[in-house]
Amino acid sequence: MTTEMTTDMTPELRRRNVRTAWLLAAFAAFLLLTSIPFWKGLANMIAASGL
Amino acid sequence: MTATTLDHAHDHEHEHHGPPTGIKRWLFSTNHKDIGTMYLVFALIMLFMGGASAMLIRMELFMPGLQLLEPDLYNNLVTNHALLMIFGAVMPAAAGMANWMIPLMIGAPDMALPRMNNLSFWILPAAGTMLILSFVVPFFPGGGTQINTGWTLYPPLSIQVGMSMDFLIFAIHLLGISSVLASINIIVTIFNMRAPGMKLMEMPIFVWTWLVTAFLLILVVPVLAGGVTMLLFDRHFGTSFFNAAGGGDPVLFQHLFWFFGHPEVYILILPSFGILAAIIPTFSRKPLFGYSSLVGGMIAIMVIGMVVWAHHQYTVGMSLAAVSYFMIGTIIISIPVGLMVFNYMATMWKGSMTFETPMLFAVAILLMFSFGGLTGIMLAVVPADMQYQDSMFVVAHFHYVLLPGAVFGLFAGVFYWLPKWTGHMYNEKLGKIFFWINVISFNVTFFPQHFIGLAGMPRRIVDYNVMFTEFNMISSIAAFVFGLSHLLLLYIVIDTVRRGKQADDRVWEGAKGLEWDLPSPPPFHSWTTAPVLAK
């Protein structure tokens, strides 16, 4: 079900909204992956296990 | 800023179609007002559940010794209370108001991504269920131990807790996804959906506070998600991120948690400060004082608030240089926060003030939040904090910050906008009675906790020395009054919806802004044609 709001948007505005949203989502994902030493720790663990 | 509302006829045409009926209206809703309402109802339910756990805590603390609760259950309730109130009540309530008001205030027909808006909300009941299960699971056979870590989930204790911790980690992941999706939607809406001609520096301050809050959420929630994921790996997949025996560092979790946890305070407070920016000029009948400095102040709060997190960890053994930096940074943050408070006071100065319920809350917030801020400066000072930390003084401090700074602000917003949302005026007399009972009982509950904390009563411990009995009794009795007073709030809301007098479009005499140009309640589809701004 959609409201008329979604159809009221011009395709250009809708594209712009989705593009901005993806940018922000990528930023959030970047923070998730880089702001913590998660991958470093994981790599250390893999190295220590001799894989 | 006002608007010529050329599109009312068009809005009424839309209204003839009417909203979808039945359960589908709510399950599949992409309408910002319906989703806002669902957020608010969800928050109210969680407020009562979190409040029930608080009342159980106060029942136990009514007298020294073990009265009702085992120590683990007591700590489970402490954890439960914090998580339900922060993630279940305050954040969803603020998101509900953002959903309702941002499109109305900026002249947008809806949120930028309406389907994602639906998803953001409907993740919440699932997350709430997981959250509640994490407290309940230990009571079933094989359910493991209770979560006795407090909301901070510090390892190594959180690694040793039973499977309930896994439910909680999953709940935090879901809550985080919901928050990030909602934040993305809010930012995109504010950036792309403003009425033609509305510049960023012309937006209402409430919208600005949400822009800053949404960015804060995107910046810090992924870090919490990472931290609890590492916790999950330590619990089940043999890693040792936080396990000292395996070469890990438990203090690392504290850094990750508080990198989220401290900005979270501003995430809770800023939307309420945005509500004050709408209420105070209305009831002072004066324009808001210092618009640009308010915007600058909240951006400063965001930036500085993100780099002072370790003042929550002074006692873990950081270097002198580190604690000095975090102390100075923390004290500096009182400047932009103070600036916001002074701007609101300057707005009231020489205004034609009246004291309807929202304004009563606004004035009370400025007084009580400032008091909470002052005890915050005491706690920011390293040698003093070494004495105060983990005492009831800290409990008193953060309740003085979060209840006035966040919860009372939301109450003020409910009373301010309820006539606009429902089309009905609330009972002003009942509103004022609620205000006075609420504010007096809040102060009687938490003010004595400063003294017993300074005298040495630790927090998060079920029992206490008999010398603290009298103040704890006072605190508990007032807490019951405070808790029960919220039933009056519920009654007022139901009474308004059912029997309230018809509200005017411009409900309050001094109210300015696009939202007041719409009918009360606004049509199901509002601003289907962008408003023309009259400057």
pLDDT in tens, B155-186: 999 999 999 999 999 999 999 999 999 999 99
C-beta atoms of A4 and B223 within 8 A: no
How far apart CA B12 and CA A5 sit, in angstroms, is: 15
Flag whether B438 is in a domain. Answer: yes
Percent of chain B with pLDDT over 70: 96
Flag whether B181 is in a domain. Answer: no
Contact list in A for residue B17 (CB cut-off 8 A) is: 4
How far apart CA B365 and CA B367 sit, in angstroms, is: 5
B448-485 tens-digit pLDDT: 999 999 999 999 999 999 999 999 999 999 999 999 99
B240-296 tens-digit pLDDT: 889 888 888 898 899 999 999 999 999 999 999 999 999 999 999 999 999 999 999
Contact list in B for residue A3 (CB cut-off 8 A) is: 29-31, 110, 114, 525
**Joined tokens for residue B39:** 């957020």
Is the link from the previous residue into B156 a cis peptide, with omega within 30 of 0?
yes
**Joined tokens for residue B334:** 């009182």
Q: Which residue has the higher pLDDT, A35 or B54?
A: B54
Does B344 score more than 50 pLDDT?
yes
**Joined tokens for residue B291:** 């618009």
Q: What is the mean pLDDT of residues B371-391?
A: 95
In angstroms, how far apart are the furthest CA atoms of chain B? 71
Flag whether B493 is in a domain. Answer: yes
For B526, which residue in chain A has the nearest alpha carbon? A5
* pLDDT recorded at residue B534: 76
Q: Tokens 């400032």 appear where?
A: B370
What is the C-alpha R_g of chain A?
20
C-beta atoms of B223 and A31 within 8 A: yes
pTM: 0.92
Interface probe for A, chosen from B186, B192, B219, B230 (most Cβ of A below 10 Å), is B192
Flag whether B20 is in a domain. Answer: no
How far apart CA B451 and CA B468 sit, in angstroms, is: 9
Q: Tokens 């953060």 appear where?
A: B398
Flag whether B259 is in a domain. Answer: no
Residue B470, judged by CB atoms within 10 A of its CB (0-12, 13-18, 19+), counts as exposed
Under 8 Å between Cβ of B260 and B221? yes
**Joined tokens for residue B254:** 């504290």
List residues in chain B touching A: CB distance below 8 A. Answer: 14, 17, 20, 24, 28-31, 109-110, 112-116, 180, 183-185, 187-188, 191-193, 218-219, 221-223, 225-227, 229-230, 238-241, 248, 252, 256, 259, 525, 528
How many domains in chain B?
Answer: 1
Q: What is the mean pLDDT of residues B196-210?
A: 96
Flag whether B514 is in a domain. Answer: no
C-beta atoms of B31 and A3 within 8 A: yes
A3-35 tens-digit pLDDT: 444 446 888 999 999 999 999 999 888 888 776
C-beta atoms of A28 and B222 within 8 A: yes
Flag whether B412 is in a domain. Answer: yes
C-beta atoms of B525 and A36 within 8 A: no
Contact list in B for residue A50 (CB cut-off 8 A) is: none
Q: Tokens 């003030």 appear where?
A: B353
Flag whether B14 is in a domain. Answer: no
Please list the residues that pair with B502 across neighbouring strands: B424
Query: Which residue segment(s) compose the domain that B461 sits in?
Result: 384-501
C-beta atoms of A1 and B28 within 8 A: yes
